[in-house]
Amino acid sequence: MSAPSTYALIQYAQRRHLAFTETVDGLDEGRFHFSAKDNLCALGFQARAGSAVLEGYRPPFDATPIHRLKAAGGQLVGKTTMDEFGFGSFSTNSAHGVPLNPFDPDRSCGGSSGGAGAAACLIPGHIALGVSTGGSISGPASFCGVVGLTPTYGRVSRYGLIDYGNSLDKVGLLSRSAASIAQHFGTIAGPDPKDPTSCAQPPLAGKGRMPSSLALPREAMENLDPAVRKAFQGALPVLRGMGVAVEEVSMPSLRFALPAYYVLATSEASTNLARYCGMRFGRREEEFNQHFNDFFTGVRSEGFGDEAKRRILLGTFCRMVGFRSRYYLKSLAVRQMLIGEYRRVFQEHDAVLTPTMPFLPPRFEDIRRMTPLEMYLADFLTIPPNLVGMPHVSVPCGYVDGLPVGMQVVADHWKEMDLLELAKGWEGAFLYTFPEVRP
Amino acid sequence: MDRETIAKVAKVARLALTDEEMERYAQDLDAILNSFAVLDEAPASDTYALNPVPVVDVLREDEPAQEIDPQLLRGQMGTYEDYVRGPRLS
């Protein structure tokens, strides 16, 4: 039987796994094919970021990473499903479909770039643009058994990205192989005058230096599902066989990362989302005879989902007079302290190694029973590198009952190519498994 | 978090909450903020930046340019005879 066509796989990924919100009607076979998370603006598609409040919004321009991939010969084949504005770890907070895990459709793809993870897994050679604020590339990469690269904050322009947290958002790539990511990462990276945060970056190295010494923080090995711990520990001899030393270290400040992240992320989100008031983007209110407070409040109360409201409330509270120093300013200081702690580790080691997610892809019925705080705690391994803006890559490192387990490697700012060298080397030592797809 | 506080926060955020939402979000935020108390144990510091990496100002000559057709933007905003429509201010 011949291999299914790429177009058949895209349709399958959309129909059976809800990986896409929209797709093109046909493929241009002369071009390479990529998708974009639905919070990246693109001509010809709605950009709704998983939210009902943006229903109908059609941006009149391409986000810079999309523009650059198109200019390099790519065709944007679809927009991928996601948690509303990136608010979630399982892609279940979406107004436009919850993506289903390629390995088991009763389980989550991870979030918030869940559709991107599913598309990268189901379509060989596919390049998926994802966005990470607190782990939204690593998490789906781990749960969907693919490679996910989250670059340094500022490495890839955010022009055309629908913001979640301005000091945290990063555009990156997911694919079945690090080689595919390495092939396209140079295209999307680099300064862009339309995003000043991208303009202070050093040039991207042509070829990375393979890390030879990894630090494993003992704090990252606490609170793990035993099956994940065992699979991760099984990967360590393989790394050592590649000539990579792994040494246990302590990073006590990691315990401050999760609350500091949620304070900063929700504070920034609560101001970013102020623009959605029924006048400029997406859902429009037509009852202009109302007072503006009632007008704005009505649109926002109907348009935002449950988790979006929770994070807006949390962020608004953290910024209020009397609490700003305790929460917001303290969290900014914690971020600097944590950058210092990573840098101390990097004096002795090339990178930091941890599992990516603390448990296997969860069943949707189990997710429904989780409290919001339990959901936030699920990100305790992906949040630290995201908070400090350091590049990280997640690669599959084992399988438990047919479900993938990921490991995450974090390097110092701007050293993405070192991570990709390690990930490419890893692919020579460890065989990835992908589900059989019959469109 | 008491009901009065959550009502005040919701008003600032321009969100109208039902009684059920008010109660549920108050409980959720209480649990979340209690877990944030660990931040009090972090050493005090005056050293902080708004971004995790240094950021530079990007300056350019102030020259007129038009990258996006204004008609497209007007269409997105549902303008009427070139006016942006909005709710009452008072």
Q: Which chain A residues are within 8 Å of B32, Cβ to Cβ?
A: 262, 314, 372-373, 376
The domain that holds B37 is classified in CATH as: 1.10.20
The tens digit of pLDDT for each residue in B13-72 reads 999 999 999 999 999 999 999 999 999 999 888 877 899 999 888 888 999 988 888 888
Nearest CA in chain B to A260: B39
The stretch A112-141 carries a mean pLDDT of 98
- Band of the pLDDT at A287, cuts 50, 70, 90? confident
Q: What amino acid is encoded at A419 in this protein? A: L
Residue B86 within a domain: no
Cβ proximity of A206 and A199 under 8 Å = no
Domains of chain A: 6-255+332-429 (3.90.1300.10)
Cβ proximity of A434 and A404 under 8 Å = no
* SS3 state at A266: helix
* CB proximity under 8 Å: B 22-51 to A: 25, 28-29, 31-33, 35-36, 38-51
The tens digit of pLDDT for each residue in A329-362 reads 999 999 999 999 999 999 999 999 999 999 999 9
The tens digit of pLDDT for each residue in A318-334 reads 998 888 888 999 999 99
Give how far Cα A392 sits from Cα of A132, A409, A413, A415, Å.
11, 5, 10, 9
Range of the domain at B30: 3-41
Cα–Cα distance, A315 to A163 (Å, whole number): 15
Q: What is the DSSP string of A98-125?
A: --B-SS-TTBB--SSSHHHHHHHHHSTT
- Location of structure tokens 């991760």: A232
Q: Into how many domains does chain B fold?
A: 1
In the prediction, which pLDDT does A283 show? 84
In the prediction, which pLDDT does A1 show? 59
List the beta strands (DSSP E) in A207-269. 213-217, 245-249
Contact B14 A277 (CB under 8 A): yes
The stretch A252-277 carries a mean pLDDT of 97
Q: Is the pLDDT of residue B78 over 80?
A: no
Residue B87 within a domain: no
Residue B27 within a domain: yes
Contact B48 A388 (CB under 8 A): no
**pTM for this one?**
0.97
Catalytic residues of A: 37, 112, 136
* Burial grade of A102 (CB within 10 A; 0-12, 13-18, 19 or more): buried
The ipTM (two decimal places) reads 0.94
